[in-house]
């Protein structure tokens, strides 16, 4: 009984509701004669204390079926008596749209270069294999569709100007050979050769 008193004391310290939960007692190893005698000795006192008592043997499986049914009944009764849970509601609020949806900006550096900043162009450049002409051409197409060439032209960039994409300290550097006609009427060569890593 001291073992049970210790367990009950620990449960009471842990959280008040633990001692209010349904419990039962399983007296194990009744396949051993001494353990069966001890179970016979304590089971009546345990019942007087309000516990349902089950004598079991893990080795011989005696009493295990009754114990399983008893535990299932306790669980079912607790579920039936539990209050209905409050429905939960998740509110999803999309981030407010920013004014510039292009995803990039072109600025002139003090050295006279054109710096393209923005998450999309920087990510695309970092993902590109510059040893692969097809990948370079695909990058050029994506940047053109995003509007980078138009923005460079609006900012005064001319064919052959140095273009930086990324942060100034670790930007990828290109000579600009635009696919759009320049003021001089220049038209570039085939796709894949219009952007070149220095």
CATH code: domain 105-197 is 3.30.300.350
What is the structure's pLDDT at 66?
92
CATH code: domain 2-81 is 3.40.50.300
Helix or strand (DSSP H, E) at 55: strand 52-55
pTM (2 decimals)? Answer: 0.41
Phi then psi dihedrals of residue 33, to 5 deg: -55, -45
Instruction: Examine the pLDDT at 7 and tell me if it is beyond 80.
Output: no
Each residue's pLDDT tens digit, 41-87: 888 888 888 888 899 998 999 999 999 999 999 889 888 888 887 77
Each residue's pLDDT tens digit, 149-170: 899 999 998 888 899 998 877 8
Domain spans, the chain? 2-81, 105-197
pLDDT band at 96 (very low <50, low <70, confident <90, very high): low
Angle at CA of residue 113, ends 108 and 115, nearest 5° = 60
* Inter-CA distances, 62 with 72, 140, 172, Å: 18, 77, 76
Q: Which residues pair with 163 in a beta bridge?
A: 114, 174
Average pLDDT over residues 132-148: 88
Q: What is the largest CA-CA distance in the chain?
A: 108
13-16-20-25 Cα dihedral, nearest 10 degrees: -10
């Amino acid at each position: 009984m001291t073992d049970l008193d210790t367990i009950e004391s620990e449960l009471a310290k842990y959280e008040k509701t633990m001692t209010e939960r349904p419990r039962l007692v399983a007296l194990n190893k009744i396949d051993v004669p001494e353990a069966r005698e001890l179970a016979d000795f304590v089971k009546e006192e345990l019942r007087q204390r309000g516990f349902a008592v089950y004598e079991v043997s893990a080795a011989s499986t005696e009493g295990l079926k009754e114990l399983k049914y008893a535990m299932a009944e306790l669980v079912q009764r607790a579920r039936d008596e539990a209050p209905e849970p409050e429905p939960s509601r998740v509110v999803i609020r999309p981030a407010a749209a920013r004014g510039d949806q292009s995803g990039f900006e072109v600025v002139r550096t003090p050295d006279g270069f054109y710096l393209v900043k923005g998450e999309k162009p920087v990510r695309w450049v970092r993902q590109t294999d510059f040893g692969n002409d097809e990948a370079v051409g695909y990058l050029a197409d994506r940047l053109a569709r995003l509007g980078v060439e138009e923005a460079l032209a609006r900012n005064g960039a001319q064919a052959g100007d140095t273009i930086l994409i990324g942060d100034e300290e670790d930007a990828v550097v290109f000579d600009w050979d635009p696919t759009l006609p320049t003021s001089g009427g220049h038209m570039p060569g085939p796709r894949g050769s219009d952007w070149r890593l220095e």
